[in-house]
Amino acid sequence: MKLTDLFREGKFVITSEVAPPKGGDTAEMIENAELLKPRVDAINLTDQQSSVMRLGSLAASQMLKARDIEPIFQMTCRDRNRIALQSDLLSAWALGIENALCLTGDHVSLGDFPDARAVFDLDSVSLLAAAKGLNEGVDMAGNELAGATGFCLGAVVTPGADPVELQLIKMEKKIAAGAEFFQTQAVFDAEAFARFMERAKPLGVPVMAGIILLKSPGMARFMNNNVAGVHVPESLIDEMKNSEDRPATSVEIAARLIREVKGICQGVHVMPLGWEKRVPAVLDAAGL
């Protein structure tokens, strides 16, 4: 099932994500995915998140597909050149994977192999263009394929980036290259997100607001200091600080954000970061 089909039906699309394990034991990843399955339309499988070496997103996507859970196969350009990226897209298609999310990827210096070669042969825009080409039956060199792919192609955007204009220009380039939907970096300020959506709406491509479950005031401050394009307002940090039941407050904040953005975007992408068990409560409280 392609996400584009759901958007076309006018459905408010809900996705979440699970991280493949650092190691060969997939039990917890599958458990988390099964827990999310009844409540979400699809699940992202992250690709060596934060440049930390893990089980691959292709294998993880296929494992979910085999359990009737719709995977969104994340691909970054950090670790593979254009030959490997195109080949993995063909492999994914052959395995029945229908949604691919194309990203540039973090630099290797952020992860556990800072001494590795950072590839970046392609980037998010040229990867989307390559994937679109495969959908049309040709590879990047113009060679005809024995069988085209039919991916629904996604991309990411950071509404809180500064300058936002540069972000919007890149968003336009991604759309021109083949992006059919966007998932955003975490949104914590609904008004700022609304201002971004006023600029993004005319581009005519569905946008899913990124929702991260705040676990503590410390986590919020860490993100403010270290994560690009994320800003948790002081009011939310205070709300967590003064809370007597942080998990409950976290759920409440996430649900409130979803209610606030629901009318102005086409879906939400919930990033539980270990709090998968609380996602159903968030969606309940958000009325989804």
Partner 1 sequence: MLITVRKPIDEIMGFLAGERAVFLLGCEGCAAASGTGGEPEILELKGELEARGIEVAGWKVVDFLCQKALIRTSLRPFAEPVARADSIVVSTCGIGIQASATVIDKAVHPACNTISLGGIRGEWQGEERCVECGQCFLEFTGGICPLTACAKGLVNGPCGGAKDGRCEVEPEVRRCAWNVIYERLERQDRLDLLRSSPVQIKDYARMRPPSELRGTREWAVDMAVTGEETR
Tell me the closest approach of the beta carbon of residue 135 to partner 1, in angstroms.
Answer: 15
| Residue with Cβ nearer partner 1 (231 or 259) | 231
Contacts of 288 (CB under 8 A, 6+ apart): 12, 14, 39, 258, 262, 268
Question: Taking Cα atoms as reference points, which of 75, 78, 99 lies closest to residue 87?
Answer: 75
Give yes or no for residue 106 binding partner 1 (CB under 8 A). Answer: yes
| Residue with Cβ nearer partner 1 (25 or 165) | 165
| Residue with Cβ nearer partner 1 (98 or 180) | 180
Q: How many residues bind partner 1 (CB under 8 A)?
A: 35
Indicate which single residue of 34, 123, 139, 260 sits in contact with partner 1 (rule: CB under 8 A): 123
Give yes or no for residue 124 binding partner 1 (CB under 8 A). Answer: yes
Tell me the closest approach of the beta carbon of residue 39 to partner 1, in angstroms.
Answer: 27
3-state secondary structure 54-90: CCCHHHHHHHHHHCCCCEEEEECCCCCCHHHHHHHHH
Indicate which single residue of 18, 101, 129, 240 sits in contact with partner 1 (rule: CB under 8 A): 129
| Residue with Cβ nearer partner 1 (87 or 109) | 109
Tokens of 132: 């679109």
Whether the CB-CB separation of 53 and 80 falls below 8 Å is answered with no
Tokens of 64: 């979910």
Residues 175-204 that bind partner 1 (CB under 8 A): 176-177, 185
Q: List the beta bridge partners of residue 183.
A: 156, 208
Indicate which single residue of 104, 135, 183, 250 sits in contact with partner 1 (rule: CB under 8 A): 104
Interface map 55-94 toward partner 1 (x if CB under 8 A): ----------------------------------------
Give yes or no for residue 107 binding partner 1 (CB under 8 A). Answer: yes
Q: How far apart are CA 60 and CA 62, in angstroms?
A: 5
Encode 127-137: b = buried (16+ Cβ within 10 Å), e = exposed. Answer: bbbbbbbbbee
Residues 131-150 that bind partner 1 (CB under 8 A): 140
| Residue with Cβ nearer partner 1 (28 or 87) | 87
Contacts of 125 (CB under 8 A, 6+ apart): 170, 173, 174, 177
Give yes or no for residue 163 binding partner 1 (CB under 8 A). Answer: yes
| Residue with Cβ nearer partner 1 (94 or 110) | 110
Give yes or no for residue 260 binding partner 1 (CB under 8 A). Answer: no
- Cis omega (within 30 of 0) for bond into 114: no
Tell me the closest approach of the beta carbon of residue 161 to partner 1, in angstroms.
Answer: 7
- Residue ranges in contact with partner 1 by CB under 8 A: 104-107, 109-110, 118, 120-126, 129, 140, 156, 158, 161-163, 165-167, 169-170, 172-173, 176-177, 185, 226-229
